[in-house]
Amino acid sequence: MPEKLDMFCYQCSQTVGGTGCTVQGVCGKTATVARLQDNLMFATKGMAAYLYHARELGHTDVEIDAFLERVFYATFTNVNFDANDLVRFATEAGEMNLRTMRMLKEAHIEAYGEPLPTKVSTGTVKGHAIIATGHGLRALEELLKQTEGKGINVYTHSELLPAHGYPGLKKYKHLAGNLGKAWFDQKKLFSEVPAAILVTSNCVLLPKDEYKDRIFTTGPTKLPGVKHINGYDFSEVIEKALSLPELPDAPGEVTLTTGFSLSTLLPLKDKIKELVESGKIKHFFLVGGCDAPLRKSTYYREFVQNLPSDTVVLTLACGKFRFNDLDLGDIEGIPRLIDLGQCNDSIVAIDFAVALADMFGVGVNDLPLTLVLSWMEQKAVAILWSLLSLGIKGIYLGPILPAWVNDDILKVLQDNYDLRLIGEPKEDIARMLS
């Protein structure tokens, strides 16, 4: 259990029960308690998103549902004001999120097969077009079924890029490529590309007038003044796409690679062990997470660009768009840049790290592995606590602290989990490799 948290009172801005405290905590919620409740709110929202997509594919878990019930009751109805118990809750949320991510991964594999490494075009081919954004593979599958043979090309955007690796989705020849990068480029991208747009999940922005009449939402996502589709009948999206001008045949400047699953990585274990023991692979980095339109987010591209050629980068979620266009080459057949998929595919990274640790006969914290994670919100908060619940230490975090962290919470995270904040890329790399 982490060390006891000091609590500060909203009302008198003093340590509860300490010198200067005027109410001895009787005013109820303290700043630290409120922030820890916010943390649980973010983490459980992230879990709920994963659960929604798993349920779309027929997978549920009553134990996870029961946990969410306890969290909602204990925190959001102002029943639990115990800071240390809220930290325990957060750790349990991390454990439950591991279970959630594993269930969603199993649902995806059951529905679409094990992902395979796949090259993905970033340009356009001649024809009418629909851009699908978000995280919903079920919605994408239904869209592909309904557009087959209609002269419409379907493009993914942001977190749907990994869909290209699934055999059950890549079999559709009109799944033509990926346009754009992380979620926040959509206003520019959607304005410039005359395509119909289908939003399958969160990470959507209020639309500009330039494309408001050709964007559609489905599932839990809704936008003011935008047509919402209940269920999976996308005939209106198809009609809109056919009414728009065809896109030109315009190859992209880069080709992306995605689709590295556990079944792809595990057969490489012996080769990786050989390369590590011979000194040809010195270190692994997991660099990923949620991207954000923040100035310091350029850190992640500079970080990857400055890594030595004897290192390997695992990546996932939309944070990879900061650098996944880089050609890092390979080390005797082992790619130096390995895209594991969506944010929920963190479970693949975790299982692979555990497999490597078992192979080398060490703990995960003893592997030549450093985690460098970006922007903590919702799903990323849930994943952070999943990593902490496993006892993983020395995680680097940035470009800013999560909004729910104050000095006291940060001290506990640093003292108990050796959580570190990113600095300058070259200095951080030197520190990580020392």
Average pLDDT, the chain: 93
Per-residue pLDDT band for 81 (boundaries 50, 70, 90) equals: confident
Q: What are the distances in angstroms from CA 83 to CA 3, 17, 46, 156?
A: 11, 14, 21, 42
pLDDT at 27: 45
Segment 303-332 shows an average pLDDT of 98
What percent of the chain has a predicted confidence (pLDDT) above 90? 87
Residue 301: closest CA among 326, 281, 335: 326
> In what helix (H) or strand (E) does residue 174 lie, and over which residues does it extend?
none
Per-residue pLDDT band for 16 (boundaries 50, 70, 90) equals: very low
Look up the pTM and report it.
0.93
Segment 60-84 shows an average pLDDT of 90
Q: What is the DSSP letter of 250?
A: B
pLDDT at 5: 54
Q: 117-145: string of b/e by CB count within 10 Å (b at 16+)?
A: ebebbbbbbebbbbbbbbbbbbbbbbbbe
| Cβ–Cβ under 8 Å, residues 200 and 131 | no
What percent of the chain has a predicted confidence (pLDDT) above 70? 93
- 3-class secondary structure, 185: helix
Q: CA quadruple 93, 97, 99, 104: dihedral positive or negative?
A: positive
Per-residue pLDDT band for 135 (boundaries 50, 70, 90) equals: very high
Say if residue 250's pLDDT is above 50: yes
Per-residue pLDDT band for 26 (boundaries 50, 70, 90) equals: very low
> In what helix (H) or strand (E) does residue 72 lie, and over which residues does it extend?
helix 62-76
Determine the Cα–Cα distance for residues 99 and 102; give it in Å rounded to an integer: 5
Q: 19-43: string of b/e by CB count within 10 Å (b at 16+)?
A: eebeeebeeeebbbbbbbbbbbbbb
Q: What is the DSSP letter of 212?
A: G
| Cβ–Cβ under 8 Å, residues 360 and 284 | no
pLDDT in tens, 354-389: 999 999 999 999 999 999 999 877 899 999 999 999
pLDDT in tens, 88-117: 999 999 999 999 999 999 999 999 999 999
pLDDT at 29: 58
pLDDT higher for 196 or 76?
Answer: 196
